[in-house]
Amino acid sequence: MGRWEVRMTTNASDEEIDRVLSFEDEILPSSGFAISVMDAVRREAAAPPPIPFPWIRALPVLVVSGIALALFLVAGIVAVAQLGKVAAPRFSMPSTLALPPLLHGGMESAAIWTLLALVATFVSVRFSMRLASGRR
């Protein structure tokens, strides 16, 4: 009996929900709605097409950047691995010997890194300007 009552309540509630939600008031579009949409569509149609990304020009630089990044990561991993070997107690090698020459401290390596950074900056600025101006 109790279960029957619960089921009846549930059904009645569903009917009530159906009744309330099926008959919501309809609203009418305002008088200028279609005109306003068509204005927006005409503006959209008149706008110049978006400039596509210049993949052909960008591709070589992206490839070179990818290779450079990969090389840098490999150099870093090698350096870390060699540092680990140096840290072992059996070998008392100076830590600078474990690093690739470019990663040694000192004026020379600092100069080389600075030069590399300047070259990279120069190349990226030139490339960006070329892309922006549309020249090959």
* Interface with another protein (CB under 8 A): 8-10, 12-18, 20-22, 24, 26-30, 33-34, 36-38, 40-42, 44-45
Nearer to another protein, 6 or 81 (CB): 6
Q: Comparing C-alpha atoms, which of 96, 100, 44 is closest to residue 72? A: 100
Nearest distance in Å: CB 5, another protein: 9
Give Cα 63 distance to the centre of its chain. 17
Q: Which is nearer to another protein, 45 or 88 (CB)?
A: 45
| Residue 1 C-alpha from the chain's centroid | 62
Contact 24, 90 (CB under 8 A): no
Reduce the DSSP state of residue 31 to 3 states and report it: coil
Q: How far is the CB of 87 from another protein (least distance, A)?
A: 52
Shortest distance (Å) from residue 39 CB to another protein: 10
Q: How far is the CB of 55 from another protein (least distance, A)?
A: 22
Report the interhelical angle of 107-133 vs 55-87 (nearest 10°).
Answer: 160
